[in-house]
Structure formats: structure tokens, C-alpha cells
Structure 1
Amino acid sequence: MCTSVTYQTTTGDQFLARTMDFGFELGGRPVAIPRNHHFNSVADSDGFDAPYSFIGTGRNLNGYILVDGVNEHGVSAAALYFAGQAQYADEAVAGKVNLAPHEVMMWILGNVKSAAELGQRLAEFNIVAAAAPLLNIVVPLHWIVSDRNGATYVLEQEADGIHYMQNPVGVMTNTPDFNWHLKNLSNYVQLQPTPHPDRQYGDLTVRAFGPGTGALGMPGDYTSVARFVRTVFMRQHTETVDTDAQAVNALSHMLNSVEIPKGVKVKADGSDDYTQYRAYMSMNEPAFYMQPYEDQTITRVALTEELMTADQPKEFTLDKVQGFVDRV
């Protein structure tokens, strides 16, 4: 279970941020993939190529798997759980790029220059129900995709086919499907950052108990539905800032409202579903910021020319210190 949100500075710089909420320890770290890297695939023996360089959270499992990131053209994306509704093809299709769900992220970041281009190229690939290494299951995923022009979309595949939808609120969580979440916002039209006015009931004047009452009724639990509503509200009303560093700080505070501490959300098997890390993707730099659960240090890695033209992918460590670490 995860939450994602987009954000724009006063100067027009675009960001995509996400929490990674999961019970199984994923062990991800910042990984830079160079141009023209070839990925092996569990869905197709030919694999696929990634002409463009990108950086995000990944792990080497006999080949790198990334779950979020930003590419050299300022396209950013994140994969989120879509349990119960995701449905993929039973087999590969000749003449298409066949991808397992956990491979779609790498194809997107390695092959498109804008969110609109992805919509034009959906017919090129076929998402196959093939299991991911480490988890050994077909991972039910959907994806949020955004670019440096501010265009944001959601990609979902269900029993009735693939859907690529504009995202007018810049937020995505998990099941139910994205359109359901948009409709559900109609139940929260009363939310506002300012106090509600006094109300008159007969001869009684009812006054609010102070600032914050405008958000009365906003759901505070950790379900995907509650996190969606809460993050839409935070995104709409959090102040706009000028610099990229201020944007990462603002996003960090927004995601505080949906971060899941260990112990407060326990799955049926007894494992803790918690926020293993937060990621912040700067599309204009482009750069990737990662903030792990253990100490909240933010590590920044810029996608430099050296990383883009390297012979091999490069992993970066997460320093265990308080503060901000620049790994440029």
C-alpha cells in the first residue's frame, strides 16, 4: 500500500513523491540506469532495451528492478499496489514487447519522453501475468506517470483492458480503481483549511472550537481511500514554495499525514505494513531523493552526464546520519 502525489513550485518545477508502504522488506536503494541498458524479462526471453537513462529506487535481483524513478527527459513514475482489480494477459503476444507487471516501470522510464507519448505507445507492449523474483508472485500494480510539463496520468489494466487516464488531482493510492477515488471526493466537499462559520439551531448558536474545524470529517485511517482523500486535501492547500529544496521539504510534510509507523497497521499474517521509505523525484533537475524509515535522512542523487553514459548501472548507499546528504 502506498501514496503518491505531484507538486509544482512557483517557478514551475515539477515533482512526484511517494511513500513505499509494504510488509515485506524490499531493501531498495537509489540506482542509476545508464542509456541503452538491456533488461532481461521473465515474460519474454528477448527482454527489452531502455534507450534513456533514469534513476530511482531499485534492487539487483539477477537484473535491476525499479519501482519508481525519473528519467533524463523529466518523466517520472511510480508503481503502486492494485490488489483485487489488476488483471493481465495470460501469455506473451508475438510482435509486442511483453512485460511482467514489475517490469513496466523500467520500460516507461527507459522509453518515453513525456506522459503523452506513453499514451501513444501503449499498443507496443503487453503486460503478462508473470511472477516477480523475490516475492514469487504476480505483483498487482498500477502506475502514476508525470512529466516536467505537469501532465499526470494513471495507468491501470483490468479485466476490460488497459486504461490510461488523466489525473486531475495529482494523487494516487491503491485499490479501488482511480475513477472510483475521484467519484468518492464528492463525499468530502465540506473540507476546507479555514474554520466553518457559526451555525444557528433554533435559539442556539453553535460555534467551532477553533482553527482546524474546516477539516472535520476528513478520514484519518490508513486505508487507500482515506489516504487518497487526505493527500488531495494536503496537496490542494499546502503552501507553494520557490526552490527545489523547499519543495522536497513541503512534500515531506505532506506525506507525514499518510506515513505508516511500524506497529500501527498489522497484516493478517502478522507482518507490519509500514512506510519503508519516501521518494521525491525532481523532474526539472532531474534528480532523485530518498528518505528511509530508519533515520529520515534524505539522500539526493542527480542524474548527471557521467551516470547517463556509464557502462553499468550504479547503486548509491543511504548514509545513516541525520540531515541531508547530497550524493551528486
Structure 2
Amino acid sequence: MCTSLTYQNSRGDHFLARTMDFAFELHGQPMFMPRNWRVAGDAGEFTTTYGFVGAGRKIGHEMFVDGVNEKGLGVAALYFPENAQYVDPSQVPAGKQAIAPHDFVAWALGNAASVADLRELVTHIQLVNLPVSLLKLITPLHYIISDPTGETAVLEATSQDLKLIEDPVGVMTNSPDLGWHLQNLSTYGTLTATEQPLHDYMGYQLKTQGPGTGALGLPGDYTSPSRFIRTVFAKHFSQPAADVPSTLNLLQHLLDSVTIPKGVKLKADGSDDYTQYRGYMSLEERAYYMEPYDNFELQRVVLTTEMLEEQHTPVSYALQPSVHIQNLN
């Protein structure tokens, strides 16, 4: 399970950030994909028009779960259990390209220049029932997409017709669908960051519990609906950041409240669902930052003109795994 959010700082820079919460060890790492690279996708080949960088891994072919491309488009895939509906490969309508759900991020980053561009492109594809060889299952996914205009949309394959849905709060978690989460948000619409006065009950003046009373009732568990509410609340009331470093720092703090430590969220089979990494896409900067579970230091790969024009094969970047401790005395 995962949490994602978009953010625009006071300077106008746009970001897409996410936690990658999963029990199976994915071993993802930053990977660069070049222009004009032919991807041997599980539902058929497709070729990239744009270069991009994100969290990827080669498992037979290059697969990505999030990233940003040279046009500043950011895309992230999140788990969408019991809601995603795909088409059997034999039932793909004539004239449409079949795309496996786990190949959608690479296809979108490699071919779409913006949210508006992707909105048109998805009418020409069909997500199909094909498993990921590593997991031996068909991954139920939905996707959040954003670009430097600030437009943010979600793609949820709940029927055969694919279309982007506007995401007015720029937050996405897991099931249920986005419409349900937005309706549920109204339940918490009175929460505020300011301290609220307590009533005088029958002559008895209640003693304050201190600052934070405006957020009493904010859910604190790790379910998808609760993480959605907490992220919207924290994003809305957080103090604005002014530049890229301060925004990345803010995004780290915003994701802290939904980051899952090992051992606190166990699945029915006993496996440990935890935040394997946190990814940050700086859209104007065309940069990808990765923060693995055991290292809070951001590790950055930026798309440069040299990379895009001269690098013609994919490149993977090794992560520094250990927490760095600096002695001050």
C-alpha cells in the first residue's frame, strides 16, 4: 500500500511525492530510460519518445513504478486491490494497444508530454490481465499523474473505458476509489490547525488539552482512508516552502505521518507491509530523489541534456543503503 501527494511551492515549482509500501521486497533503484528505447513489455513492445528517470528494475524488461520525464510529467503507480478491472488480452478492441498494468508507468513517461497529452493517449490503449513474473500475480493498480502546469489526475481502470479523473486535492492512497475518498473527506471537513475553545458544561469549565484541539478526530491508523485524510490535512495546513531544498524537506515531513515502520502493519499471511522507500519527483527540475528505508539522505538523479542526447541505453544507479551519522564533537 502507498501514499502519494502533489505539491506546489511558493515559487511555483511542482512536485509529486510518494511512499512505496509493500511486503514483497521490490529492490527498486533509480533508473534512467533513454529516448527511442524499445521496451519488451509483457503485452507487447512499445518505444519511448521521451527520456525519463524513476524507480525501476529490469525483470526481463525495464519496469517502473514512478518517475519523471524530460517534459516534467510525473507518474506513480499505487496498489488498488479489489477495484482494478482489466481486459483479457484476447478481448482488446481493434486499433487499441494492449499494455500490462505494471508497464503503464514506463509507457506513460516514455510517450506523454503532459497530463493533457496523456488524457488523449489513454483512449488508444487497453490495460490487460497479465501477471508480473516476479510476483506471479496480476497487480491491481491505479496511477496519479501531474505536470508543471499543476494539473493532477488519476487513472483508475474500473471499466474497459480508460479516462483520467481530475484530482482536486492532489492526494491518492489505495482502495476505495478516488471518488469515495473525496466523499469521505467531507466527514473531516471541520478539522483545523488552530486550537479550539472548550465548552463550559453546566457550569464546569473544561481545562484545555493544549494546542492541537482543532485536529481532534484526525485518524491515525495506517488504512488507506486514514492515510488519505492525514495527508490532505497536513498538505493543506503546512507552512509553504520557497525553493527546491526546503520543499523536499517539507515533503519528507508530510510523508512522515504515513510512513510505515517495519513490524507495525502485518498482513493476514504474516508478511510485513512497510515503506520500502520514498520517492520525490521535482517536475520543473526534471529530477528524481529516492529515500530508502534505512537512509534518510535523499539520493538524486537529474535528467541532463547530455544524458538525453548521448546516453542510448538504460542506466541503473546504486543506492547508498546506510544511515549516515555525523559527529559534531
What's the TM-score once normalised by structure 1's chain length?
0.95
Cα distance, 1:63 vs structure 2: 1.2
- SS for the counterpart of 2:150 is coil
Query: Which position in structure 1 is the counterpart of 2:269?
Result: 269
Query: Which position in structure 2 is the counterpart of 1:317?
Result: 318
Query: Which position in structure 2 is the counterpart of 1:78?
Result: 76
Q: Is the contact between residue 297 and residue 321 of structure 1 (CA under 8 Å) also seen in structure 2? A: no
Q: Runs of 4+ in structure 1 displaced over 3 angstroms?
A: 320-324
Cα distance, 1:163 vs structure 2: 4.0
2-structure distance, mates of 1:84, 1:265 = 19
1:50 to 48, 51, 69: 48
Which whole-Å deviations, capped at 9, do the CAs of 1:150-192 have from their partners, x for residues lacking one?
0000100114643421111010000000000000011102211
Q: Is the contact between residue 288 and residue 301 of structure 2 (CA under 8 Å) also seen in structure 1? A: yes
Q: Which amino acid aligns with 1:69?
A: G
2-structure distance, mates of 1:15, 1:144 = 12
Name the Cα RMSD after superposition: 1.4
1-structure distance, mates of 2:324, 2:235 = 24
Cα distance, 1:133 vs structure 2: 2.1
- SS for the counterpart of 2:296 is coil
Cα distance, 1:306 vs structure 2: 2.4
Query: Which position in structure 2 is the counterpart of 1:39?
Result: 39
Q: Is the contact between residue 33 and residue 307 of structure 1 (CA under 8 Å) also seen in structure 2? A: no
1-structure distance, mates of 2:137, 2:121 = 27
Q: Is the contact between residue 87 and residue 157 of structure 1 (CA under 8 Å) also seen in structure 2? A: yes
Query: Which position in structure 2 is the counterpart of 1:107?
Result: 107
Which has the larger displacement, 77-86 or 192-201? 192-201
2-structure distance, mates of 1:61, 1:93 = 28
Cα distance, 1:322 vs structure 2: 4.0
1-structure distance, mates of 2:322, 2:174 = 32
Which has the larger displacement, 313-322 or 239-248? 313-322
Query: Which position in structure 2 is the counterpart of 1:131?
Result: 131
Q: Is the contact between residue 294 and residue 322 of structure 2 (CA under 8 Å) also seen in structure 1? A: no
**Aligned ranges 1:134-213 → 2 under 5 Å:** 134-159=134-159, 161-213=161-213
Query: Which position in structure 2 is the counterpart of 1:9?
Result: 9
2-structure distance, mates of 1:155, 1:281 = 18
1-structure distance, mates of 2:177, 2:324 = 37
Cα distance, 1:298 vs structure 2: 1.1
Which whole-Å deviations, capped at 9, do the CAs of 1:219-266 have from their partners, x for residues lacking one?
000000000000000100111111101111100000000000000001
1-structure distance, mates of 2:184, 2:112 = 32
- SS for the counterpart of 1:60 is strand
Cα distance, 1:323 vs structure 2: 5.7
1-structure distance, mates of 2:281, 2:208 = 39
Which whole-Å deviations, capped at 9, do the CAs of 1:55-85 have from their partners, x for residues lacking one?
0000011111000000000000100000001
Label 1:111 to 1:323 Cα distance change in 2 as closer, same or farther (>3 A).
farther
Query: Which position in structure 2 is the counterpart of 1:226?
Result: 226
| Amino-acid identity (%) | 48
Q: Which amino acid aligns with 1:40?
A: A
2-structure distance, mates of 1:38, 1:320 = 31
What's the TM-score once normalised by structure 2's chain length?
0.95
- SS for the counterpart of 1:40 is strand
Q: Which amino acid aligns with 1:84?
A: E
Label 1:36 to 1:128 Cα distance change in 2 as closer, same or farther (>3 A).
same
Count of aligned positions:
322
- SS for the counterpart of 1:250 is helix
1-structure distance, mates of 2:206, 2:188 = 21
- SS for the counterpart of 1:247 is helix
Query: Which position in structure 2 is the counterpart of 1:294?
Result: 294
Q: Which amino acid aligns with 1:51?
A: T
Q: Is the contact between residue 76 and residue 283 of structure 1 (CA under 8 Å) also seen in structure 2? A: yes
Q: Which amino acid aligns with 1:61?
A: I
Q: Is the contact between residue 173 and residue 224 of structure 1 (CA under 8 Å) also seen in structure 2? A: yes
Q: Is the contact between residue 17 and residue 279 of structure 1 (CA under 8 Å) also seen in structure 2? A: yes
Q: Is the contact between residue 53 and residue 72 of structure 1 (CA under 8 Å) also seen in structure 2? A: yes
Cα distance, 1:267 vs structure 2: 0.8
Q: Unmatched 5+ residue regions in structure 1?
A: none
Which whole-Å deviations, capped at 9, do the CAs of 1:31-76 have from their partners, x for residues lacking one?
01011111112113xx111100110000011111000000000000
- SS for the counterpart of 1:280 is strand
2-structure distance, mates of 1:272, 1:254 = 23
Q: Is the contact between residue 148 and residue 283 of structure 1 (CA under 8 Å) also seen in structure 2? A: yes
